[in-house]
Amino acid sequence: MSGWPSLDRADDERLARTLAAGDPSALIQVMDRYAARLYDYCHALLRDQDQAAGALHDALIAAYAHVSGLREPDRFRGWLYSLVRNECMRRLRDPDRPARRHEAPEAEDGFLDEAELARRQEARRLVHAALSGLRGRERESLDLMLRHGLDADEIGGVLGMDAQQATGLTAEARARLDDSLAAAYIARAGRDDCPEAAAIADDAGWPLPPPVVHRLVQHIEACGVCGPRRDRTVSAVRLLQVLPVAMTPNDLRGRVMATATDPALAPDLAAIAQAARPFDDWGWPAMVEQEPVRATSGGAGGGRRGVWAALAAAAAVIAVVAAAYYLMSGTSGEPPAAQGPSDGTSASAVSPSSPAESQEPSDTPTPTRSATPTPTTTSPTPTPTKTRRPSRSPSPTATRTQPRAGRLSIGSCAIEGAGPGSCTITVRAVGGTATWSVTGASGGLSASGGGTLRSGQSGYARVSGTCTPPGGSGTVSFSNGDVRTVTLSCPPEDGGRGPG
């Protein structure tokens, strides 16, 4: 997939055991094999390049800290994805999540000519139309299976269900995707040969709404003209390979290795490791999906209010994830404006329907959460018995009534290349909750950012400036009194300075 390294489960187990032995070089090998695909998964969920980078950074550090507890090293791949998804969920449910998002550029294939690019865009339109008829969890499971190469047991581990449920989910999703692809193909390429298909599709708009897809599928099954065409549609596996892949930030590897190995960053490593807990008896992280129910001293009324607030939070998170996977087939366009399942413009010139269009609320009764004591008889999803490991029930942890005050760990960044440019400075809370903001900048720089971070959580200050050869530097000041130097590097001859 877009240059992703091939994977071998024997290598996965070897990597897990080497990493568990504390060898930092194994972390480099994990990034070589997994960073690109894991970053793409993070970006599909978060639709923001900095938040995706932060989620992957923290997941890799958590893996480094906790891999020794993984009892089945051969399941290392699914375990990594589970850690990554948890970090994304923490960011999605963060009330202070920035409203403005900056999507990552696409990892382009530089060897495509204009005709091939046009064919790829058309294929993306077809996939976009087909995916729009699926529910959010179906889209996510197909992405994990067909693009990321996870099997049913691994998908179950990531999504909080057993292997049998994951098999059923992916099989149903695959069948619905095949139906949707056939309907989209007939609607675009077969209407000239079948007036009835044309009549069904003509007034439907694009992508096809699910009711129209259903009518077309029924028509195709009974039509002597369209039925044989169905077997000539391109396979779902091949078509999903044309979806855009988010480009992994160049500085991610260095940041991960610094946190893992630099003694000065040991508090950061400890904070990230703590935030990733709890883990079950098999070493898998408890699934992060909804806010825990807050214990109250106000009796039944307060408790009921807490339960419903938690359920509402769960529904909101599911809607956001569903919307992210609805946008999965579009290339990076204008960043969606943020709250909830926002829409975004796709470079494939297909205007996505309203974010709520895809019946995503019907995804809420999927086999996961309600580890909260829900009112009356809603089964807290009688957590399916797993053959390999016990179900990961999110423990109803007591709420932190008094967040400890933490300190800030602030990095730096560099702007490279002549002309306007930008970079991001990572700000992390260590040892407790911390509030921060950018208070000033010098040397021709402009900077912005701020918010409240829980312990182990990261935020980002965005720095912009124009580099005039031979370069220079400026500073960014923060509310805690720290000042960081930002280097602007642009050699005189329009420099092609390599990564340093």
pLDDT tens for 331-385 read: 333 333 333 333 333 332 222 222 233 333 333 333 333 333 333 333 344 444 3
**Cα separation of 241 and 124, whole Å?**
9
Asked if residue 278 has a cis previous peptide bond (ω within 30° of 0), the answer is: yes
When pLDDT is averaged across residues 247-253 and rounded to a whole number, the result is 91
pLDDT for 352: 26
More confident: 67 or 136: 67
pLDDT higher than 90, residue 70: yes
Decide if 469 is inside a domain: yes
The label of the residue with tokens 């500085």 reads 251
When pLDDT is averaged across residues 234-255 and rounded to a whole number, the result is 80
Decide if 173 is inside a domain: no
pLDDT higher than 60, residue 391: no
Angle, helices 9-20 vs 24-46, to 10°: value is 120
pTM equals 0.59
CATH code of the domain in which 481 resides: 2.60.40.10
pLDDT for 399: 37
pLDDT tens for 453-488 read: 877 777 888 888 988 888 889 999 998 888 999 988
Q: Residue 422's beta-bridge partner residues? A: 464
287, two tokens: 């699934």
pLDDT tens for 37-61 read: 999 999 989 999 999 999 999 999 9
Please state which of the ranges 256-260, 371-375, 445-449 shows the lowest mean pLDDT.
Answer: 371-375
Q: What is the 3-state secondary structure (H, E, C) of the chain?
A: CCCCCCCCHHHHHHHHHHHHCCCHHHHHHHHHHHHHHHHHHHHHHHCCHHHHHHHHHHHHHHHHHHHHHCCCHHHHHHHHHHHHHHHHHHHHCCCCCCCECCCCCECCCCCCCHHHHHHHHHHHHHHHHHHCCCCHHHHHHHHHHHHCCCCHHHHHHHHCCCHHHHHHHHHHHHHHHHHHHHHHHHHHHCCCCCHHHHHHHHCCCCCCCHHHHHHHHHHHHHCCCHHHHHCCCCCHHHHHCCCCCECCCCCHHHHHHHHHHCHHHHHHHHHHHHHCCCECCCCCECCCCCCCCCCCCCHHHHHHHHHHHHHHHHHHHHHHHHHHHHHHHCCCCCCCECCCCCCCCCCCCCCCCCHHHHCHHHHCCCCCCCCCCCCCCCCCCCCCCCCCCCCCCCCCCCCCCCCCECEEEECCCEEECCEEEEEEEEEEEECCEEEEEEEEECCCCEEECEEEECCCCEEEEEEEEEECCCEEEEEEEECCCCEEEEEEECCCCCCCCCCC
Share of the chain above pLDDT 70, in %: 68
**Cα separation of 13 and 34, whole Å?**
14
- The number of folded domains in the chain is 2
Decide if 150 is inside a domain: no
Please state which of the ranges 148-157, 206-215, 283-292 shows the lowest mean pLDDT.
Answer: 283-292
Decide if 72 is inside a domain: yes
202, two tokens: 């003509």
Q: Last residue of some domain: 275, 294, 329?
A: 275
Tell me the pLDDT band of 393, cut-offs 50, 70 and 90: very low
Classify each residue of 103-132 as buried b or exposed e, where b means 16 or more C-beta atoms within 10 Å of its C-beta.
bbeebeeeeeeeeeeeebbebbbbbbbbbb
425: containing domain: 407-489
Which of 57, 42, 415, 421 has the alpha carbon at shortest distance from 247? Answer: 42
Region for residue 317 given its phi and psi (left: phi exceeds 0; alpha: psi -120 to 50; beta: otherwise): alpha
The label of the residue with tokens 């003509």 reads 202
pLDDT tens for 231-243 read: 655 566 676 776 7
Decide if 292 is inside a domain: no
When pLDDT is averaged across residues 431-436 and rounded to a whole number, the result is 81
pLDDT tens for 267-293 read: 999 999 999 999 988 999 988 874 443
Which of 474, 473, 467 has the alpha carbon at shortest distance from 492? Answer: 467
pLDDT for 318: 38
Burial of 250 (0-12, 13-18, 19+ CB in 10 A): exposed
pLDDT for 223: 86
Decide if 96 is inside a domain: yes
pLDDT for 401: 40
**Distance from chain centroid for Cα 40:** 7
When pLDDT is averaged across residues 201-211 and rounded to a whole number, the result is 74
Decide if 34 is inside a domain: yes
Decide if 152 is inside a domain: no
pLDDT for 351: 26
> Contact 372/293 with Cβ under 8 angstroms?
yes
Averaged pLDDT of the chain: 73
pLDDT for 39: 95
CA end-to-end distance (rounded Å), the chain: 28
pLDDT higher than 60, residue 260: yes
Give phi and psi for 412, each to the nearest 5: -145, 180
